[in-house]
Structure 1
Amino acid sequence: MMLLISIGLVFLLILQDVILFLLLRYNFKNYGEGEQIAFPQISILIPCRNEAHNLPQCLEALESLDYPSSKLQIIMGNDGSEDGTAQILQQWAKQNSQALYLEVKAGDGFKMNGKANALQQMVGHATGELLLFTDADCVVGPNWARSMVAAWQSSQAGVVTGITRIKGHALFDRMQAFDWWLTLGMVKVMDDLGIAVTSMGNNMLISKSAYDAVGGFEGIPFSLTEDFEMAKQIEAKGFPLIHLVNQDNLVVTKGQDNFAGLMRQRKRWMSGAMDLPSVWKLLLGLQVLFFPAVLFLVFLYPFEGIILWLIKVLIQGLFIYCFALKTRIRLKWVDFLLFEIYYMLTAWSTIVYYFWPSKTDWKGRKY
């Protein structure tokens, strides 16, 4: 019985990866690419908590945005930082007329997490028809705002989610990057099928009308993944959600410095994943259960088990490689085998750590 179950799981995962690749190849949707756009008033919101070491690159990228300055507002919120974040933001706001500095007031941690509280206050000062969100540890491209706005104009979506990649040349950074490509690739495929999954607060556009329809961040249920919850509530109000993937709207962010930091990040993300649709849970479940199933096959039938495993790595690798190419990023094939080991370890470690009886630590705040 165990043998049959293991064989079935392995073949289901291989079939899943084949389907994902075919959908990526033949059902990939672009939005607003190459279209002439109008320039609505936009507000970019960046909450900052102890980000002094990240802000120089972030702010330099914002200065290079190709968007009419008269239509652009950038709100920088200092959320109780204990380093030089406030001084950097205040100085930058003085030098940039489109920038607004805001000192975030402490909120009720039982109603909103820290980031949601900061964003709620920041939106209160926003003048834009469209709200664009990114993080202080992110670097946006010069055409980022244009690309997100064009996608909104062609779709009239309530939420436009962009694409983000992890930067860095160290092995741990590259493995995290592969993980993001795989996960966001599956998100994009599902979204293009009309099954909205999630959104990401480090690369996201929300129309002001959609935001107001749900009562803002204070109007949605408490969540450690406020971006996911916001997207879910906006979709429930009847607004479309789309996922935009191209070179122009690619945002670069930092990975976690170590495995402990990765687990803390994953514990928070898992709280949102538990509310995902059943189809998405099935996809994630197949990814995780594949490893014990294939290891069981390798133990009983080494040659056949290894061949099946390599087939899975090949198809999954092809999916990841082709998805990254949508943003003109070429990945190194030599990393794919290493990623399989990394993915096996992190997938099961995440499950164990999620159920471990400890609070979630996020930016020095515990929930």
Structure 2
Amino acid sequence: MVSILETISLIIIGVYLVWILVMICSFLWIRWTDHQLNKGQELRVSVIVPFRNEANNLLSLIESLNQLNYNRSFLEIILVDDHSNDRPDLGELPQEYKVLSLPVDMQGKKAALNFGINNSAGEIIVTTDADCIVQPEWINCIVSQFQKHQIQLVFGGVAFTNSETIFSRLQQIEFAPVIGVGAASNNIGAPIMCNGANLAFRKSAFEKVNGYEGNFHVASGDDEYLIHKISKVYNRSIVYIKSKEAVVRTQAPPTFTEFVSQRIRWASKWNSNKSFYKSSLAILVVLSSIFPILCLTLGIIQQSPLYLTLALSKIILDGIFTHLVLKSMRNSLNIFYYLITVILYPLYCLYIGVMANVKFYTWKGRKHKLG
């Protein structure tokens, strides 16, 4: 039995080490290539912001949107209220804003996004979340990518703002590789994930792939389902914005309960995602987070340098990748907090993996069924 576990551990860790090396090289390649803005024609842009019960966050987002360095004649900002229970006082908004209320027979983020897109005039659709803050050059960075006519979808980095607590710092470290894998995988021709808090696409491409049709029953995943659809129809048409000026900042869940609920919501998309690469990756990440502990244990018991080397190699390479991603978003890696995540991550992976398949989750005051 021990020998079987040893063999499995060696295979899984070996495959993972090869994969993470590919991710590191791919992400470095993104950073090394030319990143100057492709300035050209100003394009009509519609920023869509779905919101529900976000009265405490909307004013901060609007304040950052008001600082956008983009021609207001080519910009509209559409806020779509998904039946909020609170009543946000937005005051007097500039003329480029439109505030829409979702019809009573519709609900959910995808419905709100779809409603906003249907009522938009822009050829470029940009989405973000109500609890985000954007930078002044955000739209310029996005539009510069669409100067290349073959580009149909653009996504960028998302980082947490509230990093003063230990819990939020741990989340920043845990979340950064997700952004990095999305960017690096797309760079090798396997787009699997992006984040709707920093996403843009041509309206024509959205209409050609029938938008969110076929996925409305899943509460989450508006971003990932769309990137898969567009990548199937338009070859090599997706790009990750590497500019630090394009990073969007959002708030980390303040409590463990909200954190778990968010991660279960994200993981719930797995059952509906038919991507072989993503499904295999999810299994590999979960298993590879467990087996380093087994390798360390075996290495200490058997005094084997091989097991210790494999386990430490994974920890070091993961740390390098996380550091690269954080640095690209003007953050830094704290070694002490990183080592804490190394210890906690296997437990977290197992728990979320189980919960994402056996229970409901609550989001924005609504109860959603998984799968």
TM-score, length of structure 1 as denominator length: 0.90
Equivalent residue letter for 1:139? I
The answer to whether 1:139 aligns with 2:133 is: yes
Q: Is the 8 A contact 1:144 1:248 kept in 2?
A: yes
Displacement of 1:306 in angstroms is 4.8
1:297, distance to aligned residue in structure 2 (A): 2.8
Task: Return the offset for 1:75.
Answer: 0.6
- Decide whether aligned partners of structure 1 residues 360 and 40 sit closer, same or farther in structure 2, where only a CA change above 3 A counts: same
- 1:264-279 matches, cutoff 5 A: 264-274=261-271, 275=273, 277-279=275-277
Matched, 1:189 2:184: yes
The alignment covers a number of residue pairs equal to: 357
**1:29 and 1:192 mapped to 2: Cα distance?**
13
CA distances 1:190-243 after superposition (whole Å, capped 9, x unpaired): 100111112321111011111121333357553331222222222333262222
Q: Corresponding residue for 1:174?
A: 169
Distance 1:215 1:249 in 2: 27
- Percent pairwise identity: 24
Query: Which among 68, 75, 79 is matched to residue 72 of structure 1?
Result: 75
Over aligned residue pairs, what C-alpha RMSD do you find?
A: 2.2
Which residue of the partner structure matches residue 46 of structure 1?
49
Contact 2:70 2:140 in 1 (8 A): yes
Corresponding residue for 1:208?
203
Contact 1:159–1:206 (CA under 8 A) maintained in structure 2: yes
Deviations 1:112-155 (A, max 9, x none): x6011111211122111111100100000101011011112236
CA contact (8 A) 1:64 1:142 kept: yes
Work out which of the residue numbers 100, 111, 117 in structure 2 matches 1:117: 111
Residue 65 of structure 1 and its aligned partner are, at CA, apart by 0.3
1:344 shift after superposition: 1.9
Name 1:238's counterpart in structure 2: 234
What whole-Å deviation, never above 9, does each CA across 1:291-331 have from its counterpart, x for those lacking one?
A: 33223333333264555433321111111112222233333
Structure 2 residue matching 1:197: 3-state secondary structure: coil
Q: Which residue of 2 aligns with 1:353?
A: 355
Greater Cα shift, 61-70 or 28-37? 28-37
Q: 2:335 aligns with which of 311, 333, 336?
A: 333
Match of 2:225? 229
**Amino acid corresponding to residue 340 of structure 2 in structure 1:** L
Greater shift in the superposed pair: 23-32 or 172-181: 23-32
Match of 1:154, SS state, is coil
- Tell me which residue corresponds to 1:253: 250
Native 8 Å contact 2:35 2:243 kept in 1 = no
Q: Contact 2:31 / 2:242 at 8 angstroms: preserved in 1?
A: no
- Alpha-carbon distance in 2 for matches of 1:32, 1:120: 32
Deviation (angstroms), 1:252:
0.3
Cα pair distance change 1:195/1:264, threshold 3 Å: same
Q: Structure 1: any 5+ residue segments left out of the alignment?
A: none
Does structure 2 conserve the Cα–Cα contact (< 8 Å) formed by 1:107 and 1:117?
Answer: no
